[in-house]
């Protein structure tokens, strides 16, 4: 039996946070966008499977995003917190303005991510390590919830890492994927292996 994962990137964070590298900092969501995007939350509430296991990360932006989906009509449940699905830690570089990062990099930045897949910030982790961490968590969840639907509210970097694990591709390849806020990515764990169903599906479109 397959385990079906429904991965949602959290809602847009507030403007000041978007001006810096926030990584695993517990930054707030944009309150204006939470109101303006109400139709997207309703679309997600209608789209997501019932029943399902719900998983969030330790960061409040995933909890609030899940709560907004519940408020939009999905039957409220108590999500399980999964630390291994948290965003990439940028270590000592967290809190830096984006403009200050390039001079600190050992390798050229990725075209669509602040760091290359093998760049490891001081005190942080590389995307390569995020793929390994997220992959182990997904394998564990697929066994624990075999045959079930699992909704995971997580982060852009982690969702790219999940797709990289499912496809068996290098982190730099996965970083080419666009994972927008509130987008839905679906992957499945079958006995024969992983299958990617969709990536970056936007609710209501």
From the candidates 10, 82, 155, 165, which is the catalytic residue?
10
**Of 110, 90, 102, residue with least CA distance to 17:** 90
* Active-site residue identified among 63, 82, 87, 146: 87
User: Is 165 part of the annotated catalytic residue set?
Assistant: no
Give yes or no: 103 in active site: no
Q: How far apart are CA 133 and CA 147, in angstroms?
A: 22
Residues known to be catalytic = 10, 87
């Amino acid at each position: 039996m397959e385990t079906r994962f429904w991965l949602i990137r959290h809602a847009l964070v507030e403007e000041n946070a978007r001006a810096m590298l926030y990584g695993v900092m517990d930054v707030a969501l944009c309150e204006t966008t939470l109101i303006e995007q109400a139709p997207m939350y309703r679309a997600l509430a209608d789209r997501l499977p019932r029943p399902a296991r719900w998983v969030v990360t330790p960061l409040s932006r995933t909890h609030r995003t899940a709560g907004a989906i519940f408020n939009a009509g999905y039957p409220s449940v108590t999500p399980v917190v999964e630390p291994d699905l948290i965003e990439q830690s940028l270590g000592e570089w967290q809190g830096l303005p984006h403009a200050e990062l390039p001079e600190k990099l050992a390798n050229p930045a990725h075209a669509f991510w602040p760091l290359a897949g093998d760049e490891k910030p001081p005190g942080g982790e590389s995307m390569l390590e995020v793929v390994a961490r997220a992959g182990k968590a997904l394998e564990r969840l697929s066994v624990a919830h075999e045959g079930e639907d699992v909704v995971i509210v997580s982060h852009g970097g982690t969702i790219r890492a999940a797709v990289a694990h499912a496809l068996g591709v290098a982190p730099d390849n996965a970083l080419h994927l666009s994972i927008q806020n509130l987008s839905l990515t679906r992957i499945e764990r079958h006995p024969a292996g992983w299958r990617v169903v969709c990536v970056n599906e936007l609710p209501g479109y």
